[in-house]
Structure 1
């Protein structure tokens, strides 16, 4: 789904991909009625931030991505402050690959600044030297 998709639309799509009913999802979140799930999906009610771990687990999605979307909706300034203090709530797949490559190139060492060629056709990490 694109960036302009609202969080409640995105959640509806994620639920469909997970093939989980409103009742099953409500149960996973500790709710007795599926009505609350319908309110999340319609945008009438926001997902409580405390339910992010359970919801992400039930939908098999990245909890950091879900938390980031919900914080962006609730208070973009708070999201900015949190990410400024503790770093990004989630990493893209490309960022995860880059970190893994850095760790592989520098086993047991503190990473050093690297240079990389944006136009390179192969993945490689070059360790900077002093």
Structure 2
């Protein structure tokens, strides 16, 4: 039985994947598939830098995977990110951030002045409609 939540999440994702471990390792950039075996058995920590690629290849939630690993491997960092930045974002917040990033590809949108007031009014209307 795995005691590492991160290893368990990875192991379940690998077992659910139609890809072989060799194919997963190749796509993620690991030189040998036995690295995956060590990660999913909890013998080696999942490198945080590999979480985005693993999540994409295994089709799992990148945010949940990263949060799981941070909480397990670096609880003090997880606590600071949660306290200071309010992370992780909930799905609605993620959607708003994604929409803003798409709209602001050229970096010219600033949330100030009339736009800020309009957004505040829009959110107030949304809150009233939800009540």
TM-score strictly above 0.5: yes
Matched, 1:47 2:46: yes
- The 3-state SS of whatever aligns with 1:109 is helix
**CA deviation map 1:93-114 (0-9, x unaligned):** xx539x87xxxxxxx5222394
Larger helix fraction of residues:
2
Match of 2:92 among 96, 100, 109: 96
* Structure 1 runs not aligned, ≥5 long: 101-107, 116-123
Structure ranking higher on relative contact order (CA contacts 8 Å, 6+ apart): 2
Does the CA-based 8 Å contact 1:65-1:90 persist in structure 2?
A: no
List gaps (5 residues or longer) in structure 2: 97-117
* Superposition TM-score, scaled by structure 2 size: 0.67
Alignment of 1:22 onto 2:21: yes
- Please give the alpha-carbon distance, in whole angstroms, between the structure 1 residues aligned to 2:85 and 2:27: 29
Determine the C-alpha separation between the residues in 2 that align with 1:19 and 1:72. Answer: 28
Cα shift at 1:5: 7.2
Aligned Cα root-mean-square deviation (Å): 2.6
TM-score for the superposition, normalised by structure 1: 0.68
Alignment-derived partner of residue 119 in structure 2: 109
Aligned pair count? 104
Residue 55 of structure 1 deviates from its aligned partner by: 0.6
How far off its partner does 1:90 sit? 4.4
